Amino acid sequence: MVLLQDKTWEITAPDAALPPRDENAHKGCFGRVLIVAGSVGFTGAPAFAARAAVRSGAGLVFLGVPEDIYTIEAVKNDEAMVFPLSDSVPAALKELLPRLQKCDAVLVGPGLGLSAWAREITYAILENAAVPVIVDADGITAVSAHIDVLDKLSCPVILTPHEGEFKRLSDGLSRLPRAEAAREFAVRRGVTVVLKGHRTVTAAPDGSCYVNTTGNPGMATGGSGDVLAGMMLAFLGQKLPGAVWKAVYWHGAAGDRCAASFGQYAMTPTDMTDCLKSVLR
């Protein structure tokens, strides 16, 4: 890595290398991961995240969605195991919490919506999880409305805001440069912050900060963040060292491969996921 300043590094390709797999491994060795996502009108987000998690090597991917979009998601997802969640919070948690205890990492928020149901499900996951939890998209909105939920965590939490979402979490960007704002919030709240955008910054609770070097403006499209969240989930489930910032790097590398193949105007999140085949190889 290239040291930019104290505890701040720039990521290069050798840093992001993934380890070879054990020849005797089975699917249980590569993580059981859980995604809670989606709502009426937002059925793409959970599918993007699930496909990216599968493509990034997760052993088993479980996808919980509201029951009124279950059929749509079941058709969209062949490799992920989709299950419905009741519109009653207690009934949904009865289905969800046992699964939460058996997984290696969790993602909550993509396309989940802004309902009271979505907020309560997000808070319940944060309060009950013992494994890493990625809070993305609408999950971040839920957290920003009840920031104190971060003060009683028993699990590692990764927040993945773009700048607009980060401003709802903190006033740091009005006072500090991007890396410093992300670092200050990560240390103060004891979470990992992935501040997305040009040269995405990953700030850890110990104050270390990783600045990404891949990616391009063609990735600025709906669904791109869902792909990134799914990749992070898969890497965390596999317990890869540096899982979060490595996912950021390879997500950008897939975007760069897309831009080279299709141009920045025409590339899509599905193209990015497909390009993982070549960049991760």
Domain count within the chain: 1
- Rg (C-alpha) for the chain, rounded Å, is 17
pLDDT, tens digit (0-9, with 9 covering 90-100), for 67-115: 999 999 999 999 999 999 999 999 999 999 999 999 999 999 999 999 9
Tokens matching residue 220: 């600025």
Give start and end residues of each alpha helix (H) in 81-223: 89-101, 116-128, 138-145, 163-169, 178-189
The length of the chain is: 281
pLDDT at 21: 95
Model confidence at 1: pLDDT above 90: no
- Does 21 fall in a domain? no
* CB neighbour list of residue 35: distance below 8 Å, 6 or more residues apart: 46, 49, 50, 53, 61, 62, 63, 64, 80, 106, 107, 108, 110, 230, 233
The Cα 204–Cα 50 span in angstroms is: 25
- Does 197 fall in a domain? yes
Tokens matching residue 4: 């930019």
pLDDT at 118: 98
pLDDT band at 272 (very low <50, low <70, confident <90, very high): very high
Tell me the three state secondary structure of residue 34: strand
Tokens matching residue 69: 């979009």
- Does 89 fall in a domain? yes
pLDDT at 260: 98
Tokens matching residue 155: 């699990």
What's the predicted TM-score (pTM) here?
0.97
Q: Give the mean model confidence (pLDDT) for residues 11-17.
A: 95
How many contiguous H segments (helices) and E segments (strands) does the chain have? 10, 11
Inter-CA distances, 187 with 66, 153, 178, 209, Å: 34, 14, 14, 11
Nearest to 157 by CA among 210, 89, 105: 105
Mean residue pLDDT across the chain:
97
- Residue for token digits 């993007």? 48
Model confidence at 3: pLDDT above 90: no
- Does 87 fall in a domain? yes
- Does 49 fall in a domain? yes
Answer with the residue of higher pLDDT: 219 or 5.
219
- Does 152 fall in a domain? yes
Contact between 204 and 186 (Cβ < 8 Å): yes
Q: Give the mean model confidence (pLDDT) for residues 55-77.
A: 98
- Does 154 fall in a domain? yes
CB atoms within 10 A of CB 94: 12
pLDDT, tens digit (0-9, with 9 covering 90-100), for 147-203: 999 998 999 999 999 999 999 999 889 899 999 999 999 999 999 999 999 999 999
pLDDT band at 255 (very low <50, low <70, confident <90, very high): very high
pLDDT at 174: 86
Looking at residue 49, which CATH number applies to its domain? 3.40.1190.20
Residue 109: which domain range? 2-15+30-279
Inter-CA distances, 249 with 64, 70, 104, 154, 261, Å: 27, 32, 22, 28, 19
Tell me the three state secondary structure of residue 128: helix
Contact between 72 and 43 (Cβ < 8 Å): yes
- Does 20 fall in a domain? no
- Residue for token digits 């910032």? 245
pLDDT at 28: 95
